[in-house]
Structure 1
């Protein structure tokens, strides 16, 4: 696939305050050539290279090498068979990742039992893939997170409103959580419950798209929810929909808002503000996911994937999917 690159210029060290917003410097670091493309999720390798999944039009995994550099390179790594799109991605161990795929049938409805979890390895500089498990009990898989020092991953089912635990060695999968906080909101035009999911310090955090909220719940060392524990609300944001998110060193959440075309920063005290984009701008139009860089050059850079406003045009315009770099260092 042909691509075009927009090189990252020097980033301003301070954020720009605009009304109720605090807008951080944002620049495109990569953009596809074709509209109708949808980049869904993003992970960062230890060497700093980005891994990006495509939901549409094909189930492909891409890499953007050295995203912080003028010599960055974008390339296709693999296209998965018997799938129409890729979703969440997470690192399970050093340079090993788990990825979710889906097979959509007529009318864009998931084909029953067609979703799969795959393993991808870069060990010894050799790229390999393997099927971990079929997800027969998952309606629409979305986000995925690994549990450190275990073979377990937890994945979200946005339509079923559940969290499934999968052992990446044995392939055994089981639903481990279903709560009001993980389910779609009743009567919503687009019923989407739990979306992004991430592990940190003994807890799992997840976004609920319809509830536009971030929740937290403790889990044990194998990824099972702690008995008698209940989900805790971190905060609710002012948006119609939220997608995946990333958390920084100060435990601030940076949330992709999809058709709201923004990135929202959510503090632990529940307060929030827009830090990139707007409803009427293409800056992060159709934002889908976010991840922080891992090198000295970009540890405070938030990389955001988009779908180019494919679901709701911006002033009548759509654009090819892209990756945006946002400098979150601000004036602090």
Structure 2
């Protein structure tokens, strides 16, 4: 009987402990966790055990966690760690496994205004979040990033180089490389025109997010609303004479571009942030893009910032979206939204 029940729950994408994630007749998305007032989530990842980690921006410098998100109907986000050295946290990425250690890298610094994106140059640092065998989390500063750092935003690990990470600085308009063991930071390991803010751009933010997929480093530039790719070697270094090529420009679909991930087919799902508040699918072969959920008048995902696929038994087809809050409405707060990708038409 239990096996029959289990098979039924898997078939509808649910949980044997906390009810289904989605059931027939329900929409593909739901609010998984609503955070307190004056919270803004910036980046989100999913741990090996399925728990969610999310960093908060400007209103607090906390790393939040939601445990076993597919097994509960009430998924309250709790503070896992606080970083008092800074007032804002940004990108977070899981580091490749090393001697069984589970660890993440994230960046943080000081903002004086979120609406005008005013930062304190030189305040940004890199941190390592490590879990021991008992699940206890410890945060340790890895590096005071170079004085030139003014808006380190997205970060990504390098699969074949566990000792280094890449950091996109949206104001510098370049991608830096950080050695985690020495703390040495090269702020312009990747520096191309496609990463900078064009003259006269309405949004003064250059390269903001990136991912390594196969032999390429993919990166997004919100000011041009475009995603590019450039060839790298197995250690994440630029291949000699390689130049970026355009993957897609999404300006005709959604006026916004924030963090992105790859789906099981190798295509891109990206968060658009405000004012679009939507998720866009990008076919990496054709460059065609389409909005698949959310929109300017949809209150579900205000200021969608980042997304990550589940890693549990019941949520491998679910991606989780972190949000900021509606800037025009200070009574709103951040949330995490769960979206069942199998129910979307794309």
- TM-score, length-normalised on structure 2? 0.85
Which residue pairs with 1:21 in the alignment?
none
Query: Matched residues in 2 for 1:110 and 1:8: separation?
Result: 43
Which residue pairs with 2:310 in the alignment?
293
Which residue pairs with 2:6 in the alignment?
none
Of 271, 279, 285 in structure 1, the residue corresponding to residue 296 of structure 2 is 279
Give SS of 2:342's match. coil
Shift of 1:318: 5.9
Q: Over residues 198-256 of structure 1, what are the superposed CA-to-partner deviations in whole Å (9 max), with x where a residue is unaligned?
A: 11212211111111111111212222111111112111112222110111110121111
Pick the structure with greater CA Rg. Answer: 2
Query: Matched residues in 2 for 1:43 and 1:280: separation?
Result: 27
Which residue pairs with 2:279 in the alignment?
263
1:331 and 1:60, CA in 2 relative to 1: closer, same or farther beyond 3 A? Answer: closer
Checking the alignment, whether the CA contact within 8 Å between 2:61 and 2:86 is kept in structure 1 is yes
RMSD of Structure 2 on Structure 1 (CA): 2.1
Checking the alignment, whether the CA contact within 8 Å between 2:220 and 2:258 is kept in structure 1 is yes
- Give structure 1 stretches of 5+ with no counterpart: 1-6, 16-23
Checking the alignment, whether the CA contact within 8 Å between 2:326 and 2:332 is kept in structure 1 is yes
- 4+ residue stretches of structure 1 with deviation over 4 A? 7-10, 12-15
User: Aligned pair 1:101/2:108, yes or no?
Assistant: yes
Which residue pairs with 2:211 in the alignment?
198
Of 243, 250, 266 in structure 2, the residue corresponding to residue 230 of structure 1 is 243
Checking the alignment, whether the CA contact within 8 Å between 1:13 and 1:330 is kept in structure 2 is no
Which residue pairs with 2:52 in the alignment?
50
Shift of 1:108: 5.6
Of 138, 143, 156 in structure 2, the residue corresponding to residue 133 of structure 1 is 143
> Going by fraction, where is strand more abundant, 1 or 2?
1
Checking the alignment, whether the CA contact within 8 Å between 1:241 and 1:257 is kept in structure 2 is yes
Which residue pairs with 1:148 in the alignment?
159
Which residue pairs with 2:322 in the alignment?
305
Which residue pairs with 1:254 in the alignment?
269
- TM-score, length-normalised on structure 1? 0.88
Give SS of 1:56's match. coil
1:157 and 1:108, CA in 2 relative to 1: closer, same or farther beyond 3 A? Answer: closer
Checking the alignment, whether the CA contact within 8 Å between 1:13 and 1:329 is kept in structure 2 is no
Give SS of 2:193's match. coil
Which residue pairs with 2:22 in the alignment?
11
Q: Over residues 168-216 of structure 1, what are the superposed CA-to-partner deviations in whole Å (9 max), with x where a residue is unaligned?
A: 1111111211112111122123211111111121221111111111111
1:178 and 1:235, CA in 2 relative to 1: closer, same or farther beyond 3 A? Answer: same
Shift of 1:330: 3.1
Which residue pairs with 2:129 in the alignment?
120
Number of aligned pairs?
313
Query: Matched residues in 2 for 1:118 and 1:221: separation?
Result: 24
Query: Matched residues in 1 for 2:288 and 2:154: separation?
Result: 24
Query: Matched residues in 2 for 1:239 and 1:111: separation?
Result: 30
